[in-house]
Chain A
Amino acid sequence: MAQTKTKSRFIGWFAPIILLILWQLSIVTGIIRFRYFPSPVAVAQAFLRLANSGRFYGNLSHTVIVTLVAWIIATILGVLFGLLIGLSLPVWKGVMASVDVLRSLPIIALVPVGVIIFGFTLRLEIVIATYAALWPILVNTVSGVRQTRSELLDIGRIIRMSRVERVWKLILPSALPLILVGLRLGLGLSLVLAIVTEIVGTPNGIGYALINAEQALHPAQMFVYILVTGVIGYLLNGLFIFSARRILSAEKSAEKN
């Protein structure tokens, strides 16, 4: 068991390392010859230089904070409205068509609209990132709520639970797995859209630094920021899965006593 795991880990790292080596070789040997295509070594050097500058961390934390703030707002709004829509058949019938239209609009197309309204501000960034994260959270909450088994709802009525109790003890826990899926999708989207607004013009964050590096003709730096984006996405996702597991097992151990 343990051996297979180590093995698959090894294989997981194997491909990117080979790729990096090939990349380096093809540049050193001159097989690839673009003017602004850096070698992995150049990227690594750029990273070390950046890592020693304060600006780098400022941009990094800006993007992470915006992502998290937007995601938290989206979570509150999404779960709240998701519950509202999922719990009431008339509301569901009334708004679901609009929800489906709104969430199908490509969010990127809305960025220019946001720029006109808010300018290149922090508010723009948070609004766009929140909007992006809102839909998967809302839609998943709605379907989670609506998928609550009829047996559970009947039991709630027979036990004569209050409406709040029914939501809290039966409906929300039933919907939790789907809500968590929505939260995870939302987190990824909120990061992507934060970076997009920075690329478009908000003067802060990873996206902004990336564009600056481009305009300064610093391709190695650009690659550093791209990789950093990937790492942030990976870590946020990992952190989310970790806390989701903790929440679920805390729920379990709380039940045990």
Chain B
Amino acid sequence: MGERSRNDPVNGSLLGQGDSVFEVEDLTVSLQTGGVDRTILSSLSFTVANNEFLSVVGPSGTGKTTLLRAMAGLIPYSGSIKFRGSQLSGPAEGVALVFQDYVNSLLRWRTVGRNVSLGVEGKLPRDECDQRVTEALEVVGLSKFKDSYPWELSGGMQQRVQIARALAMNPQVLLFDEPFGSLDAMTRESLQDELLRVRAHYQTTCVFITHDIDEAVYLGDRLVLLAGSPATIKYQLDIPLSDERNQINTKESNEFLRLRREVHGEMRRVHGTNQDEV
């Protein structure tokens, strides 16, 4: 676990140091494909600590999205998922989700501002709602685009709108499903840094799914490798990089290179091929 969680003044006092936000035990998920029940996830156990950034990597088609949907309370599961100590039985207050497909996740008929307010409108007094929206847009650097429509923005900006929408809900946990997977390399790197900044601002626990090992190591405090059919956790790794990360120094540091080599090695071992981009 990284430094951040230990010095957390906000959520730390709420839950106590090192308390788990998610406790997943013996999680098994089966889905119907063509009338046949298929086990996608088999007996996963892990925890997500308060204010932790957990990266989940694995080859595509393994069941990463399925895991995230289970944690979001969107699909039935067997085993146990505890969120803040109580068994999850549907979408829980305090959990927000960011999808890879930003185009279809935003409401094209709403402005950026009204997209961001979706999760809070009607739940909070009007001025508080406006304040949340303003703050979230500011944090992702989109204040000027409040009245634009999503389709008027670039892909990277649209993904920031989606992140702002999640942030405006002031969630305790943000679940990301390959959020930068369809962006170009440059945009992707700047959004990675932005995410680290945003997260420091809001002190949010993050579960971040990606198939990009570099991204997983660069962002995470800890990493979980999912593989196999049905998927199981093959490997877990602490990422003891400092909190002050940046694209050049961090990615060229020996520690980073050692970690990514180790994850690549594990991936190759469990998957049988060289998995740079899976």
Contacts and interface: CB of A to CB of B under 8 A. Distances in A.
Q: Do A and B come from one complex?
A: yes
Interface of A: 149, 151-152, 154-155, 157-160, 165, 169-170, 173, 176, 251-252, 255-256
A155 B118 contact: yes
A170 B119 CA distance: 12
A154 B75 CA distance: 10
Interface of B: 69, 72-74, 90-91, 93, 95-97, 99, 101, 104-105, 107, 109-111, 114, 118-119, 122, 147, 149, 169
21 contacts: A151-B105, A152-B107, A154-B99, A155-B105, A157-B90, A157-B91, A158-B74, A158-B91, A158-B95, A158-B97, A160-B93, A169-B118, A170-B107, A173-B107, A252-B111, A252-B149, A255-B109, A255-B111, A255-B114, A256-B111, A256-B147
Nearest to B93: A160
Given A152-B105, A152-B107, A165-B122, 8 more contacts: A151-B99, A154-B69, A154-B99, A157-B74, A157-B91, A158-B91, A158-B95, A251-B109
Contacts of A255: 109-111, 114
A245 to B, nearest CB: 14
B101 A151 contact: yes
A255 B108 CA distance: 12
Contact of B104 (A151, A176, A256): A151
A152 B114 CA distance: 15
Nearest to B169: A159
B217 to A, nearest CB: 28
Nearest to B111: A255
A160 B104 contact: no
Contacts of B69: 154
A160 B73 CA distance: 11
B166 to A, nearest CB: 9
Secondary structure of the B side of the interface? loop
A247 to B, nearest CB: 11
Contacts of B93: 160
Nearest to B166: A158
A155 B114 CA distance: 14
Nearest to B95: A158
A165 B111 CA distance: 18
Nearest to A165: B122
Contacts of A170: 107
B119 A154 contact: no
A251 B72 CA distance: 32
Contacts of B97: 154-155, 158
B174 to A, nearest CB: 11
Nearest to A158: B91
Contacts of A159: 118-119, 169
B100 to A, nearest CB: 9
Contacts of A173: 107, 109
B72 A158 contact: yes
Contacts of B169: 159
B43 to A, nearest CB: 25
A160 B107 contact: no
Nearest to A257: B147
A149 B91 contact: no
Contacts of B96: 158
Nearest to B99: A151
A152 B101 CA distance: 11
B104 A152 contact: yes
A-B interface, 10 closest residue pairs, ranked by CB to CB distance from nearest: A149-B104, A151-B105, A159-B119, A158-B91, A255-B111, A173-B109, A151-B104, A151-B99, A157-B91, A255-B114
B154 to A, nearest CB: 19
Contacts of A151: 99, 101, 104-105
Contacts of B72: 154, 158
Nearest to B171: A158
Nearest to B90: A157
A169 B118 CA distance: 9
A165 B122 CA distance: 11
Nearest to A155: B105
Contacts of B111: 252, 255-256
Of A165, A169, A170, A251, chain B has the most CB atoms within 10 Å of the CB of A169
